[in-house]
Amino acid sequence: MHTDVAAADRMMTRLSDLLRLSLENDNVQITTLNRELEFLNGYLEIEKIRYEERLNVIQDVPPELLDAQVPHLLLQPLVENAIRHGISRMAAGGTIWILGRRIGRDLELIVRDNGPGISSASGSRPGLGLRATRERLMTLFGEKQTLDLRNRLAGGTEVCVRIPFHEEPGGVVEGIDLEKDQEAVAREATA
């Protein structure tokens, strides 16, 4: 059994940071993309300790998108899936890309990996994380959102989320009252 005290210490510190961020955002349904990426980076630091050089992460999110309002914990389950179903299945490891861009009135967030992709043998049923993410997006944004999961031509998997772009917390996005919808999601979570 390998013993790396420094790595274990780093992991415990990152777990403490994630717990603190989780508690600070306990009832928050919508947050800024910047805050979401901060939480995601804490999670990725833990995974990098586990996978070491086998996990490479590239983030390309323009600074002008960082104030965009996004569902809290939107990206983490998507990245966790990319690691679990993509990178962990490759002996040499691989790369995860986290991309953001604005397309007209929408924000598009993409998580992709260069893993083995989705095989037809694995079926097309989404797992719990993907299903819960779809349901949250539907509750918050109705038909004004999309979540697409697909194999990449270059290999690997890509998840693309598209939601209305909005920068002011608690505002209205084309008829969607974000404060009201946050309350609805909170009620569903406790039901």
Which domain range does residue 159 map to?
Answer: 5-190
- 3-state secondary structure labels for all residues of the chain: CCCCHHHHHHHHHHHHHHHHHHHHCCCCCEEEHHHHHHHHHHHHHHHHHHHHHHEEEEEECCHHHCCCEEECCCHHHHHHHHHHHCHHHCCCCEEEEEEEEEECCEEEEEEEECCCCCCHHHCCCCCHHHHHHHHHHHHHHHHHCEEEEEECCCCCEEEEEEEECCCCCCCEECCEEHHHHHHHHHHHHHC
The domain that holds 103 is classified in CATH as 3.30.565.10
Please report the pLDDT score of residue 173 as a whole number: 53
Please report the pLDDT score of residue 128 as a whole number: 81
Please report the pLDDT score of residue 129 as a whole number: 83
Please report the pLDDT score of residue 37 as a whole number: 96
Please report the pLDDT score of residue 27 as a whole number: 65
Please report the pLDDT score of residue 28 as a whole number: 73
Our count of domains for the chain comes to: 1
pLDDT per 10-residue tile (average), the chain, 191 residues? 62 60 66 94 90 94 97 94 92 95 98 89 67 94 96 94 88 55 53 50
Please report the pLDDT score of residue 1 as a whole number: 40
